[in-house]
A = this chain, B = another copy of it.
Amino acid sequence: MNSFAFHNPTKIIFGEGTVSRLGKEASAYGSKALLVYGGGSIKRTGLHDKVLAQLQEHGIEVFELPGIEPNPRLSTVRKGIDICRENDIPFVLAVGGGSVLDASKAIALGVPYEGSVWDFYEHKATAKAALPLGTVLTLSATGSEMNSASVITNWEERRKLGYLSPLAFPRFSILDPTLTYTVPRDQTAYGAVDMMTHVFEQYFNHTKDTPLQERLCESILKTIVENAPVAQENPNDYAARANLMLCGTYALNGGMISVGMDQDWASHDIEHELSAVYDIAHGAGLSIVYPNWMKYVYRERLDRFAQFAVRVWDIDPSGKTEEELALAGIQATRDFFRSLGAPSTLTEVGIGEDRIEEMAAKSVSFGPLGHFKKLGQEDVAAIYRLSL
């Protein structure tokens, strides 16, 4: 186990009807709020009205930034920063899924910073201050509700980059599983894929002597595997939606499940290039890329991949080599994603090989990707080709 520091100050408020706590929580941060949301589904479901009622009841003046894109764009983040500055708004409230939360984090970080907020994402500057942020989650996937990370797309430069800042932890996050009842079948699948790959990025590593962390990772994976199909079949199944929501949050909340372990994140970088160029759903991109990353790297640590097959997929180890087990686990992962309706190949989502070299080159512009196996441009291109 490596040495580590862990500190996660986000307060989680979880359960049906917990939006009723929003006004009181938000009122601790001032009398104005920027309400950030996406494509308007929160208006159709009535959540927008409930949120406004909560804020108004607590005397909070609301400014709105709707229209956050699925891959949230820098240009939209800048609009939010401008609104906050022009109106002296002290608090950002994100209502939505990962994209809305990530955009809101970027806004919160950008308001007190004199330069361009993109500097943070290009590793040119470190945030020294941020507006406080609260969230109401409507999609189980991101983990952004209880972590310090955000990913923003600079559409003009076709770049999708992430940034971590301890200042970006939400002060509170309201997690009501019933708000995910309206999440459609495909988005439920992409959410499950997203959270599983968040665990994978932490689980496949070379760190020795981490039995607890491995089991915590496996616990989340097994629970997702059990509950995602249930939520797809019966979207209003409270238990399945609640279990997925908790899995998504615990899968990526500042490293709670993976303290003292190396992490990888190459596959996320590889996917980010895909969705920056083709604007496909992050979960769909991961469903394609991740099993192929696994195939490309599994020999780095046969024992971990074999353990994954046995403990997560219940594959009977008797009479099988570690390599056979590893390959069976990878196949099971791919089959599971497919069973949820998530894509397995780039071809399925209409992406060919024409821009593979360009994406591979761009993906390594800050250096080789990952830790489990360091990937250069040729490796990334090979994984894209495996994914065709």
Please measure, in the bound complex, the distance between the C-alpha atom of A5 and the C-alpha atom of B222, giving whole angstroms.
Answer: 24
A4 within 8 A of B: yes
Q: Which residue from chain B places its CB closest to the CB of A210 in the assembled complex?
A: B243
Return the CB mask of A184-209 against B: 1 if under 8 Å, else 0.
00000000000000000000000011
Q: Provide the residues of chain B in CB contact with A215, threshold 8 Å.
A: 215, 218-219, 222-223
Determine if B14 and A4 form an interchain contact, defined as CB atoms under 8 angstroms apart: yes
Measured between beta carbons, the chain B residues less than 8 angstroms from A1 are 15, 239, 242-243, 246
Q: Does A338 contact B (CB under 8 A)?
A: no
Chain B residues whose C-beta falls within 8 Å of the C-beta of A208 in the assembled complex:
239
Q: Does A66 contact B (CB under 8 A)?
A: no
**In-complex Cβ contact of A7 among B4, B11, B212 (8 A):** B11
Q: What mask results when residues 312 to 330 of chain A are scored 1 for a CB within 8 Å of chain B, else 0?
A: 0000000000000000000
| From A1, A10, A226, A238, residue with most partner B Cβ within 10 Å | A1
Contact, CB under 8 Å: B14 / A250:
no
Q: Which residues of B contact A9 (CB under 8 A)?
A: 7, 9
| A360 interface contact, C-beta 8 A | no
A3 within 8 Å of B (CB atoms): yes
Task: Decide if A18 is an interface residue (CB 8 Å cutoff).
Answer: yes
Is there an interface contact between A250 and B212, defined as CB atoms closer than 8 Å? yes
Kindly state whether residue A6 has any CB partner on chain B within 8 Å: yes
Q: Determine which residue in A10, A18, A211, A218 has the highest number of CB atoms from chain B within 10 A of its CB, and name it.
A: A211
- Report whether B219 and A223 are in contact in the complex, using a CB–CB cutoff of 8 Å: no
**Closest chain B CB from A284 CB (angstroms):** 25
Residues in B neighbouring A16, C-beta threshold 8 A: 3
| Chain B min CB distance to A165 (Å) | 16
B6 x A12 contact (CB < 8 A) = yes
Q: Which of A238-293 contact B (CB under 8 A)?
A: 238-239, 242-243, 246-247, 250, 256, 259-260
By CB atoms of chain B within 10 A, which of A17, A246, A256 has the most? Answer: A246
Please tell me the size bucket of the interface on A. 35 or more
| CB under 8 Å from chain B, chain A span 304-361 | none
8 Å CB contact of A5 from B4, B13, B219, B246? B13
Does B243 lie within 8 Å of A211, measured CB to CB?
Answer: yes
Question: Which residues of B are found within 8 Å of A223, using beta-carbon distances?
Answer: 211-212, 215
A227 at the binding interface (Cβ < 8 Å): yes
A202 to B9, CA, bound (A): 23
Tell me the nearest residue of chain B to A209, going by C-beta: B239
In the bound complex, do residue A15 and residue B239 qualify as a contact, i.e. CB atoms below 8 Å apart?
Answer: no
Q: Does A216 contact B (CB under 8 A)?
A: yes
A8 touches B (CB below 8 Å): yes
List chain B residues, Cβ under 8 A from A222. 211, 215
- Interface residue A365 (Cβ < 8 Å from any Cβ of B): no
Rounded to whole angstroms, the CA-CA distance of A288 and B124 in the bound complex is 59
Tell me the minimal C-beta distance from A152 to chain B in angstroms. Answer: 27
Q: Tell whether A220 is near chain B: CB-to-CB under 8 Å.
A: yes
Once the chains bind, are A260 and B15 in contact (CB under 8 Å)? yes
CA of A301 to CA of B15, assembled, Å? 25
Cα distance, A10 to B15, chains bound together (Å): 24
14 A–B contacts from the bound complex (CB under 8 Å): A1-B239, A1-B243, A3-B14, A3-B15, A4-B14, A5-B11, A7-B12, A209-B239, A211-B227, A212-B246, A215-B215, A215-B222, A218-B219, A246-B260
Besides A9-B9, A14-B260, 18 new A-B residue pairs in contact (Cβ under 8 A), listed by A number: A1-B239, A1-B242, A3-B14, A3-B16, A4-B14, A5-B12, A6-B14, A7-B11, A7-B12, A14-B259, A209-B239, A209-B243, A211-B222, A211-B227, A212-B220, A216-B219, A219-B219, A256-B256
